[in-house]
Amino acid sequence: MSTTPAPAAASGTFPLGGDLPVHRLGFGAMRITGPDVWGEPKDPEEAVRVLRRTVELGVTFIDTADSYGPDVSEQLIRRALHPYAADLVIATKGGFTRSGPDRWEPNGRPDYLRRQAESSLRKLGVERIDLYQLHRIDPQVPVEESLGELVRLQEEGKIRHIGLSQVSVAEIERARATAEIVSVQNLYNLADRSSEDVLDHCEREGLAFIPWFPIATGTLAAAGGPLAGISADHGATPSQLALAWLLRRSPVMLPIPGTSSVAHLEENVAAASVELSDEEFETLAKAV
């Protein structure tokens, strides 16, 4: 039997919530659904292969949501991976309603969140959700009411840890007055660092920072650009360099690149072994 570590292990580990060690390079399960994150994927069998290969590559953190499909992503995860490996952490989210392709409406009503969390328990086939994230703060519902219901679910043993998505530092601190928050999931990548202050706050507070849309590179990957040049030096793709930069940026960073292709998955996970020099890291940091 081979003793070679799984590729994702090269990304290092982070103790999610203090008690769930995960490899820092995870997998985002949004793209295993249909176009515009709506309905079944064009090739469900390939989606199953992607999920199974994800675990084979050593990924121990999978992020999904009830709104992906809706419900499709969670059901595919159960079909592909249940019963789950002991070290696999599956995070899901609630707080959006879907009325059609690419339509997203926040809903933070306590009764809705409870119904969706309990539905996620059934669809994933688990007794407790390791990380349940409020997908968006609903401007029509005080966040204390939304999170208060998640705390009650936590007290009932249905949720282990609570996280937030797309929030400001002020919103994080307001939320922490009601619930113990262990993670924040915001838009962040090499080309869009508008959540830099949130990332710094998470690092100071020991919260996991989960960047969504992590491999966007903007114009940095254009011919003659800094990312293209450094990628060529490493024999790597711009996307791999973008992920390597994120992993280097902060020890609390948990990138979750997603894909519907096994080949693309393997390319993404290989980024865990790409090591940037100090000069390369700073060049990319200053490029935007």
In contact, 130 and 153? CB cutoff 8 Å: no
The Cα 111–Cα 108 span in angstroms is: 9
Alpha helices in the chain (DSSP H): 44-56, 72-81, 110-124, 143-155, 169-176, 196-205, 226-234, 238-249, 262-270, 278-285
The residues, ordered by sequence, that sit 6+ positions from 178 with a Cβ below 8 Å of its Cβ are: 143, 144, 147, 148, 151
Burial of 209-245, coded b for 16+ CB within 10 Å and e otherwise, reads: bbbbbbbbbeebbeeebbbbebbeeeebbbbbbbbbb
Annotated catalytic residue 68: yes
- The gap from C-alpha 52 to its chain's centroid, in whole angstroms, comes to 17
- Of the candidates 68, 84, 112, 188, the residue annotated as catalytic is 68
The residues, ordered by sequence, that sit 6+ positions from 66 with a Cβ below 8 Å of its Cβ are: 74, 92, 93, 94, 96, 116, 119, 120, 123
The residues, ordered by sequence, that sit 6+ positions from 225 with a Cβ below 8 Å of its Cβ are: 219, 287
* Catalytic residue IDs: 68
